[in-house]
Amino acid sequence: MSYSKSMSAKSDGKKKGLVKIANKKQVQTKSKDTAKSDSLAQIPDKTLIQILDLMIKSRVLEERLIKIYRAGESYFWIGGPGEEAWGVPIGMLARKGEGPKYDFLHLHYRCTPTLIAMGMDMKDSIRLMMNRVTDPSTGGRNFSNHYCFPKMNIAPVTSPIEVQYGIALGTAHAQKRLGDNAISIVTGGDAGTAEGDFASCLIWASRKGNELPMLITVQNNYWGISTSYEGQHGESAIADRARGFNIRARVVNGNDPVESYIALKEEMDYIRRTGKPSFIESKVSRLYGHSSASGANFVGNEEDCIKSFSEKLISRKLVTEKDIKRMWETYEAEALKATEDARAEGVPAAESIWDHVYANNENSDWRKF
Ligand SMILES: Cc1ncc(C[n+]2csc(CCOP(=O)(O)OP(=O)(O)O)c2C)c(N)n1
Ligand SMILES: [Mg+2]
């Protein structure tokens, strides 16, 4: 959604304080145990503006990816519009680097905001979207948002949902042994918590005396493709399941970047200090539906975190409408240029299909079995 549309959109979940969910019931965006931290004063002005800037950059990139899909220049889109207020603070707060001295990130396919905040070049996301051989994540072999950046400890985003929760245990074990206070961060959706990997993660992260330095998170958008949250969960909050394992847990309004930033910082500090896991359930919007498979159209009945945060910063006189317009335009120009550049780059050659599959193994080419 462009700047002007975003600022004038009539449907505004925040004003109503409500998010519509599938069965037409409405749930409050702020749950009971959501921290009431509206206080912008807890974060420096410069950081607040930086958060908004990165949120807009991420949204512009995602909307560009959707346009690329619609133009027939890509096969499939799935991504993170609606998770910016939550994902950007993760990327800003993570200890960035390569190897177990730094934080590992095991992310799901709505993680563009985190990657943008960590410094990913827009063009690298577009290369992946357009299956260019220059795509540093997969050499043009995977689809949108399935990033992999070893230099930033970004583990490969997987298509099978939830497997990242098991993989994250491995890097957390390595970090625990090393003792450098680095942590493993894992993200995923609400529906994915039905998978056994999620339960295994809670069990292995919380064994008494062997607790792991993990930030376990769930982005609850109340949907698993077209299946609504209602009717799928007996528990009152997903966070309650972590509490059952004595894992410190909280629920945050993931549409509020200030609340998300503060909660993430507190929990990351706690994990580094104690070596123990922490759990955050973050309530987020899903602004373009599940993926291109469901049309990738703007939904309009859920809170748009960029719109609400922009209004907040304008009313505090930290930015003007003009400043915000400039941010949208700058990033739109950058995304367009990146698309034009990527268009001129090649696609992977057919014979490279076996590269990086069971390296140097006789099973690497099934035609030779
Ligand atoms: C193991 C596995 N089962 C099913 C699917 C098909 N699938 C892809 S996304 C998805 C929904 C996931 O919902 P949720 O975990 O809430 O994440 P969201 O997409 O809402 O962010 C499903 C079922 C899959 N990719 N992997
Ligand atoms: Mg979901």
Structural domain includes residue 101: yes
Count of domains forming the chain? 1
Strands (E), 225-333: 227-228, 248-253, 278-283
Structural domain includes residue 211: yes
Q: For position 39, what pLDDT does the model report?
A: 73
Q: What is the CATH number of the domain that holds 147?
A: 3.40.50.970
Below-50 pLDDT ranges, the chain? 9-37
Structural domain includes residue 23: no
Radius of gyration over every alpha carbon of the chain, rounded to an integer in angstroms: 20
User: Could you give the CA distance from residue 184 to residue 212 in angstroms, rounded to a whole number?
Assistant: 9
Q: For position 367, what pLDDT does the model report?
A: 66
Q: For position 66, what pLDDT does the model report?
A: 98
User: Could you give the CA distance from residue 287 to residue 290 in angstroms, rounded to a whole number?
Assistant: 9
Ligand 1 pocket mutation, candidates 84, 146, 225, 287, criterion most atoms within 8 A of CB: 225
CA of 189 to the centre of ligand 2 (A): 5
Tell me, using a 6 A CB cutoff, whether residue 80 lines ligand 1.
no
Structural domain includes residue 177: yes
Structural domain includes residue 31: no
Tell me, using a 6 A CB cutoff, whether residue 223 lines ligand 1.
yes
| Predicted model pTM | 0.91
CB neighbours of residue 119 within 10 Å: 11
Structural domain includes residue 259: yes
CA of 128 to the centre of ligand 1 (A): 20
Tell me, using a 6 A CB cutoff, whether residue 190 lines ligand 1.
yes
Q: Which ligand is nearest to the CA of 161?
A: 1
Tell me, using a 6 A CB cutoff, whether residue 282 lines ligand 1.
no
CA of 159 to the centre of ligand 2 (A): 14
* CA 195 to ligand 1: nearest atom: 1
Instruction: Give the Å distances, CA to CA, from 217 to 7, 33, 137, 247, 286.
Output: 30, 16, 23, 12, 17
Q: For position 96, what pLDDT does the model report?
A: 98
Domain range for 177 is: 45-340
CB neighbours of residue 314 within 10 Å: 15
Structural domain includes residue 36: no
* CA 108 to ligand 1: nearest atom: 21
